Structure 1
Amino acid sequence: MKNVLLLLIGLVSFQMSTAQFSEKKKDFKKYEGFFNFYYDAESDKVYLEVDKLDKEFLYVYSLSSGIGSNDIGLDRGQLGNEQVVYFKKAGNKLLLVQPNLKFRALTDNDLERKSVEQAFAKSILGGFNIEEEKNGTYVIDITDFLMQDAHGVSKRLKRGKQGSYSLDKTKSAMALERTKAFPKNVEFDMTMTFKGESTGAFINSVTPNPGLITVAQHCSFIELPDDGFKQRKFDPRSGSYPFMYYDYATPVEESILKRFITRHRLEKKNPNDAVSEAVAPIIYYLDNGTPEPVRSALLEGGRWWNQAFEAIGYKDAFQVKILPDDADPMDVRYNVIQWVHRSTRGWSYGSSITDPRTGEIMKGHVSLGSLRIRQDYLIAQALMNKPFAERDDNHKPMLDLAIARIRQLSAHEIGHTLGFAHNYAASTNDRASVMDYPHPQFSVSNGEIDFSNAYATGIGEWDKVTVAYSYATFPDNVEEEEALNKILDDAKAKGLRYITDQDARPQGSAHVLAHLWDNGEDISAELNAMLQVRKTAIRNFSIDNIKTNEPNSVLEDVFVPLFFFHRYQTEGVAKVVGGLEYNYAVKGDGQEVVRTIDKSTQEKALKAVLRTLEAEEIAIPRDKLELFPPRAFGYGRTRESINGKTGVSFDALSAPETAADMSLGLLLHPERASRLVQQKALEPSNIGLEKVFNELVANTIFKSYKDVYLQEVQRNINYRVLFHLMNLAAHDAVHPQVNAIANAQLTALKAALMSKGKDANAMEMVRRINNFYAHPDKFEVIAAPKLPDGSPIGMDCFH
């Protein structure tokens, strides 16, 4: 009886509460769309109408305004993780459930599907008390759900050692100007303030009050696409991103891990016609806040992709337009190219909202860093001969180069949102893809730097292959898998290659064709050509590389990318030593699987890298040092400056030491050293680690100059060689044979140095070798002055 009474009391209380809410609801602002919702201005609360129990939809969170630091990585327009969710009733509340889509059973057997569903955990993202129920429609308060740190701002700040922060709800509120409802999506925007104590320089540099950081978080509830999307098989040779899940209903003789490609939905109006318009073209919209001449460049570069869609029989299937003034870039209905500002230049990247059930791309979202263009302008300014000798408004040659890069960057990042991965082997095939990282291609003509071939224009031949594989529509009488294999076979017959990120990064990777920011089919020859460009530009470098009334400190900043001009090509050439040639081969495709690079090619690469360790090659000429006084007031050093050990004066010895240390870190990478031992064992005629050491020591430590300045530059380089040899002698993550060969080299080097008598630097090297063996447990490589940032700042960010 007591329980019945309590139940009646609870029911009456619920009805009274519902009646009270219904009465108040008429004063709220109502939004009608995919979900109807109400906004109560008095309490700053949002109430959601749920009339779709157990029906899946997509939940996406993002940042509509960010922090502005590439190092921290919380940018305006940054997408979070998309999640399939549904509302489920449980007692007097609704639960927001995220099913586990990684593990599935695609079968008509309900019990088999349920067994897999129950085997793996799901996630309850939220629980909501029912405020009102009427005819199967439930009203819930979702304010706290929206006002949580879904994007992980506080975690990102803590992980980046910028401070400990938590959401301050008293300084947070709904942002109604970007809170909207549409038939297939509803959009919520929240101004969110994080309170805490800052401990990092990055957050201090970009916030007016680092104890209170205000950003805007955006949440979207989106109708999922219908089941008309057709998945396409992933092939590791295709250049597409894989979309994967496990299907436990798969027959035993087949793999349960299913791989498909991510792509937009694109269909011909007339599938059997050679050329047809699309049922719905892919349209990208450029941020209407983008200034000229960048705006026109981004539009032009983005539209290059239509060349590839025309090649597979589509008419105007890919378009780029200006975003309407009243459109929100976070709205899922728009593929967007955003022009993003940060305090430092940083990576641009292409992200997507993808249906987690199928891999269908629902929204492409490109973020382009606005300061990147200034770095390309700076490179051109450094390489031109006296650009400001006659007038200070001679901007066009530099701007033309920067704009050429921006066009290519637009196409590159859009490519990611179309479903395409990097192709770092494209630079060996006449710049066959915009999905490579291109280094500007310069040459020397009559003592001047020729800019005419700096960047390619238009879509590349490889890009047409990736578009064909992902988006081609085949006639009814054509078997799809056979047609897809033919696309890849034809690409192979044309000599096109595809190698992506995992095999292209400079530290540790080994593929001889895939490098970042490199040029040329013969990478060693291209390094020699780049060194000639560098030498010519340095010879021409003068006070006229800056404008009238600019301090010489600005000239030093302009000089930095010129001095380190060879850095990325050196990365690529170093990979040839101990390098491999291989493909993402599949059975029956006829591709070469893997081979070790031949001795002569490795020797050529080693010789080219050793040039970057020669004082006469990389030292700054004496007459140029007169251009760089101590820094002017208000023009202090930055992370992009040349660092040194001489205090206020420009350090002419540390600059080449830093460049040499970069080369040595690549050439004597522990994994490369171990590969050289293995390659020598498999093919005794190959170059081997001992030969690398012998050539290195002969061309550095035993090299001498009559010129005292060059000799001191070389000595600084020589100490870096010694430290890197010690590192391999003591390293515990290499084959023991590497330790043995390095120790033998140090022993022989010590004996040779001791034979030099009372030579001060020889004696110092001997002392350091003795200390190394006396206290091997205390050995650490003494750091060289830090290499200035060259790639976009913030090396852990995206693309």
Structure 2
Amino acid sequence: MKRLAVLPILLILCTTLFAQHPSIREKTQGFTQNEGFFTYYWDEVEGKIWLKIDHFNHEFLYVNSLTAGLGSNDIGLDRNQLGDNRVVYFERRGPKVLMVQPNYSYRASTDNSQERKSVRDAFARSILWGFEIAAEQNGAVLVDLTDFLLRDAHHAGRRLGAGDAGSFSIDKSRSAIYPEGTLNFPKNTEFEATLTFTGDKPGQEVRSVTPTPQAVTLRQHHSFVELPDDDFRPRPFDPRAGYFSIRYQDYSTPIGSPLSKRFITRHRLRKKNPSARISEPVEPITYYLDPGTPEPVRGALLDGARWWNQAFEAAGYQNAFRVEMLPDSAHPMDVRYNMINWVHRSTRGWSYGTSVVDPRTGEIIKGHVLLGSLRVRQDYLIAEGLLAPYRESALYGDDNPMLEMALARIRQLSAHEVGHTLGLAHNFAASTNSRASVMDYPAPRVSIGADSTLQLEGAYDTGIGEWDRAAITYGYADLSSAPAPADTLNRIISSVLDRGLAFISDADARPPGGAHPQSHLWDNGEDAVEQLDHIMEVRTIALKNFSESTVQTGTPMAKLEDVLVPIYLFHRYQIQAAAKLVGGLHYSYNVRGDGQPHPVPVADSVQRNALGALMGTLSPQTLTLPAHIIELIPPRPPGYYNSRELFNSHTDPAFDPMGAAETAAHMTAELIFNRSRAARLVDFKARDINNLGLGEMLDTLMVHTWQAPPREGYQGSIQNIVNHVVLYHMMQLASNKNASSQVRAIMNLKLEALREWIKNEAAEEAPTEQRAASLLYGYRMLEQFKEEGKILPPTRPMPPPPGSPIGNDSPPFLQCHFH
């Protein structure tokens, strides 16, 4: 019996003995040790990274990113692209170590530990990974980090398989640690891995940029970063100041006070001498330019980014903002470096400014800009279309107006994206304040000379604007010696308002449904209608001058269409600006007591003037391409394939001039028939019978399209196309389930009136075959709509090629700021 009693004890002792972990020293024999923020060991034989963890429940910042990308704007996996950043900590639970992400969206800012715990336990945390302890020594443990580093932290597989491209997943046999990008420093530890994603149904976007589309190899980066100290004072968010923000709910807030706390995102910046009007900073904000940027773009990017020093000087600093070239020894994803990256893609697209932000306070730890390299070439293309420069006498050396315009845009773009990484949001109303901000999207300003020549001098502005100076002062002025910081910030905002500087950002500006009459993308000037008239005149001159001299000698003539697209559609953004006046609403991000006016509809006369200008863009005369242009453009030769940059066509392989007119008419009609705009017109008319209403707008549209005197020939065909485009959009809005009942009621009333008009018109006139066909088509569509309540069959007008003078109408998964 005694022997039997001893047996369990022996089993427990043996189990405990065998369960003990080896020491870290024993486990890492033969490995390469790297000390820094975290100590890690590199096992070259097994290709593994082992991480030493000697601090538990100690928060740090974890950031994932890409260092080698796909090169596709549409998919969006760019070189040096930032991913997620989050606060995490390691927590030991028995034989495991968990990587835990606390929930900083819900907090209790109190000294009461139980109150903090009650909030912490009320909302979920996220455990990002679990590690098995492999060795242990003096309270520290060793874990295998390899699988954590080789997982798809950036969600690249999901984007590679978007649409019908099937499923992409990591092939571990073709993935490995990348030692060249695995580095260690006192305050940050950097890891990098080569990941190969495999899939059996790669989509066209993947096929276009990979040598073997079934195997896509990228590089993924992971950063473990020491969090900043507590010596950063968050600055309150003010909706009028133009900043991005962090937000969280603070459950220790007294009842009656706002539960949500908002603070702007900004870099840490302090004066050496806070009481001095002008002082050098304790530490300047320094950005570094990608050394892979070629000249002359390199010089332009440096110049544009350095403009921000003007704003910091206005905020009371001397030499507070610097831009230098990244040293050859530095890694662009090292969190210590604010970066301006020059990124190549197979197609043009957006640039954007992102940031690594401490979610606890809003402090920007790393500003990170990605600039698409093809944008400069698109501006050059637009300038070629405007100037038709390649005549025999035109030789360009250093004095090249196309290059100067393109570089001027790049300077502005550099400043714009850096502005996002300083914390600033878009200000799309700045163009109405004499280009008061680089945070607007500027259109090239084209002037018309006395001899009707187009001139590009001053196409883009130079330097930081008045709004930018004020915004930087709000975010970065040193308030440490201010007796009442809140009063100081309010005075800064009051000064902005007193100067009439408007601020309206993304949600209120982007088409098709924006309502603010000053907030537009890619526009110039205070008066949107006046500017539309000017743009249409520029367009007319450019089309008149368009010739084979628009492309260089030796270029296939079919390439003329590439240059024609942005010129024929040169008005596409100004019609967006003019359309916002119709059913437009003046308003601001006002707060109680600031004296700003309350929302008020745009003056009726302004709305009617804008509607008249929009009708001009639907005129057959406006949409008719000059015969000499049509005769110049042949089908594409071998090796020069169609692309999305060209007009969609009904006449392939031939160029389709009437298809181009259909596209342009579609752009205007889509804006006019926006359901929110239509509902505002109904509302404004109901509140003031003298206002332009939806019914009157439709009557005006009918007078300029279906009921206009019929034309013959080429312009007659374009007139019919415009009529069909208008009819399509009318029926779309009338059947839109998300439109208000009053909008749908008025639309159906006007459609029935149009049906009756067509019936009577066809009976009274003796139309040409072309006119008769158009009337019959419209009548039958309306008859079907009357019976079925929907379009049968749907005939959607052809959409325009990508635009945003430089970029696409739809950004990739990241917005400009992240923008």
Partner of 2:780: 767
Q: CA offsets, 1:537-595, max 9 Å, x none?
A: 11011111111111111111111110000000101111111111100010000011211
Q: Deviations over 1:252-290 (max 9, x none)?
A: 111111001010000001100111110010000000110
Question: 1:727, 1:781 within 8 Å by CA — same for their partners in 2?
Answer: no
Residue among 248, 255, 259 paired with 1:256: 259
Pair 1:422 & 2:426 matched: yes
1:456 to 444, 458, 461: 461
Residue in 1 that maps onto 2:63: 60
**Aligned position for 1:788:** 801
> Structure 2 counterpart of 1:687, which letter?
L
Structural mapping, 1:42-61, within 5 Å: 42-61=45-64
The one-letter code matched in structure 2 to 1:718 is N
Residue aligning to 1:641: 646
Q: Distance in 1 between matches of 2:569 and 2:711?
A: 25
Worse overlay, 422-431 or 395-404: 395-404
Amino acid of the structure 2 residue aligned with 1:617: T
Find the counterpart in structure 2 of residue 433 from structure 1.
437
Paired letter, 1:335: N
1:335 alignment partner in structure 2: 338
SS, match of residue 755 in structure 1: helix
Instruction: Give the conservation status (yes or no) of the 8 Å contact 2:27–2:135.
Output: no
Aligned to 1:22: 25
Greater Cα offset, 145-154 or 723-732: 723-732
Query: How far apart are residue 536 of structure 1 and its match?
Result: 0.4
In the TM superposition, 1:548-567 aligns within 5 A as 548-567=553-572
Q: What is the CA–CA distance in structure 1 between the aligned matches of 2:505 and 2:794, rounded to whole Å?
A: 32
Unpaired segments ≥5 residues, structure 1 = none
Q: 2:355 aligns with which of 352, 359, 365?
A: 352
**What is the correspondence of 1:104-503 to structure 2 with a 5 Å cutoff?**
104-391=107-394, 393=396, 396-445=400-449, 446-474=451-479, 476-503=481-508
Q: CA 1:380/1:18 → structure 2, altered by over 3 Å: closer, same or farther?
A: same
**Amino acid across the alignment from 2:144:** D
1:787 to partner: Cα distance? 0.7
Q: CA deviation at 1:231?
A: 0.5
3-state SS, counterpart of residue 112 of structure 1: helix
- Structure 1: how far apart are the matches of 2:283 and 2:464? 22
Cα distance, 1:640 vs structure 2: 0.6
Range 277-286 or range 141-150, more displaced: 141-150
| 1:159 aligned counterpart, secondary structure | coil
**Residue-pair matches, total:** 797
CA 1:275–1:553 in structure 2 vs 1: closer, same or farther (change >3 Å)? Answer: same
Q: Residues 653-703 of structure 1, C-alpha deviation per residue, up to 9 Å, x if partnerless?
A: 111111011100001111111111111001111000011101111011122
* Farther off after superposition, 231-240 or 380-389: 380-389
Letter in 1 for 2:455: D
What's the counterpart of residue 522 of structure 1? 527
Report the CA distance shift for 1:320/1:3 in structure 2 as closer, same or farther (over 3 A). Answer: farther
| Aligned match of 2:755 | 750
Mapped partners of 1:780, 1:123: distance in 2: 50
- 1:43-79 deviation line (CA, Å, top 9, x unaligned): 1111111111111111111111111101001111111
Give the letter aligned to residue 129 of structure 1.
E
Deviations 1:320-367 (A, max 9, x none): 000001100000000000000111001000000011111100000000
C-alpha displacement at 1:728, in angstroms? 2.2
Cα distance per residue 1:427-460 (max 9 Å; x no partner)? 0000000000000111211111111121010000
Q: 1:668 aligns with which of 673, 689, 699?
A: 673
Q: Deviations over 1:124-181 (max 9, x none)?
A: 1122122221111211111111111111111222334433111111100010011000
C-alpha separation between the residues in 1 aligned to 2:809 and 2:217? 22
- The answer on whether the counterparts of 1:344 and 1:793 sit within 8 Å (CA) in structure 2 is no
Report the equivalent of 1:536.
541
Q: Matched residues, percent identical?
A: 49
Pair 1:505 & 2:505 matched: no
Task: Kindly report the root-mean-square deviation, in angstroms, between the aligned alpha carbons of the 2 structures.
Answer: 1.5
CA offset at residue 22 of structure 1?
3.5
Cα pair 1:70 1:794 within 8 Å, conserved: no
Structure 1, 719-728 or 679-688: larger mean CA deviation: 719-728
- Native 8 Å contact 1:47 1:139 kept in 2: yes
In the other structure, the counterpart of 2:574 is: 569
Are the aligned partners of 2:781 and 2:792 in contact in 1 as well (CA < 8 Å)? no
CA–CA distance in structure 2, aligned partners of residues 780 and 199 of structure 1: 32
Residue 477 of structure 1: how far off its partner (Å): 4.5
Q: Corresponding residue for 1:658?
A: 663
CA distance 1:573–1:6, shift in 2 (3 Å): farther
**Letter paired with 1:680:** K
User: For 1:82, which of 63, 85, 90 is the aligned residue?
Assistant: 85
User: Which AA in structure 2 matches 1:496?
Assistant: L
Runs of 5+ consecutive residues of structure 2 not aligned to the other structure = none
TM-score by length of 2: 0.95
| Ranges of 4+ aligned residues in structure 1 off by more than 6 Å | none
C-alpha distance after superposition, 1:88-116 (max 9, x if no partner): 11112211111111111111111111111
Once residues 24 and 92 of structure 1 are traced to their aligned partners in structure 2, the CA distance between those partners, rounded to angstroms, is 16
Q: Residue 8 of structure 1: CA displacement?
A: 2.7
SS at match of 2:169: strand
State the shift of 1:199 in Å.
Answer: 3.9
What amino acid is the match of 2:448?
V
Code of the residue aligned with 1:244 in structure 2: it is R
The 2-side partners of 1:732 and 1:513 are apart by 30
Distance 1:61 1:627, change over 3 A: same
Sort the Cα spacing of 1:532 and 1:5 in 2 relative to 1 into closer, same or farther, 3 A: farther
Instruction: Give 1:704 deviation, angstroms.
Output: 3.3
1:197 partner SS: coil
Shift of 1:737: 1.9
On the 8 A contact 2:108/2:119 being kept in 1, the answer is yes
1:705 positional shift: 5.5
Q: Which amino acid aligns with 1:174?
A: I
Q: Find the counterpart in structure 1 of residue 731 from structure 2.
A: 726
Aligned partner letter, 1:66 = G
Q: Is the 8 A contact 1:346 1:794 kept in 2?
A: no
* Deviation for aligned residue 1:476: 2.2
Q: Output the amino acid matched with 1:196.
A: G
Q: Distance in 2 between matches of 1:162 and 1:78?
A: 22
- For 2:585, the aligned partner's letter is L
- Summarize the Cα distance change of 1:577–1:147 in structure 2 as closer, same or farther, 3 Å threshold: same
Greater shift, 558-567 or 763-772, is seen at: 763-772
Return the match for 2:596 from 591, 596, 610.
591
Deviation string for 1:594-652 (max 9, x for gaps)? Answer: 11111100001101111110011121111221111122222121101012211221111
* Counterpart amino acid of residue 659 in structure 2: S
Task: Tell me by how many angstroms 1:392 deviates.
Answer: 6.2
The CA distance in 2 between the partners of 1:673 and 1:425, in whole Å, is: 23
